[in-house]
Amino acid sequence: MDKNIHWYELCFFGDEDTESEKYDSNKACSYVIKTEIPPVIDDMIALKILFGEPREQWERELIENCTCVMEISEDDAQSFDVEGLTKRVESEYGVYYTRQ
Question: What is d(CA 11, CA 23) in angstroms, rounded to the nearest whole number?
Answer: 10
Evaluate whether residue 79 is within a structural domain. yes
Identify whether the C-beta of residue 34 lies closer than 8 Å to the C-beta of residue 5.
yes
Domain region containing 48 = 6-99
pLDDT (0 to 100) of residue 54:
84
CA 52 vs CA 2, 38, 92: distances in Å: 25, 20, 12
Question: What is d(CA 14, CA 22) in angstroms, rounded to the nearest whole number?
Answer: 5
Evaluate whether residue 10 is within a structural domain. yes
Evaluate whether residue 1 is within a structural domain. no
Evaluate whether residue 92 is within a structural domain. yes
Evaluate whether residue 22 is within a structural domain. yes
Please report which confidence band the pLDDT of residue 1 belongs to, taking 50, 70 and 90 as the band edges: low
Say yes or no to pLDDT of 66 above 90.
yes
Identify whether the C-beta of residue 97 lies closer than 8 Å to the C-beta of residue 77.
no
Say yes or no to pLDDT of 96 above 80.
yes
Evaluate whether residue 74 is within a structural domain. yes
Domain total of the chain: 1
Model-level pTM? Answer: 0.92
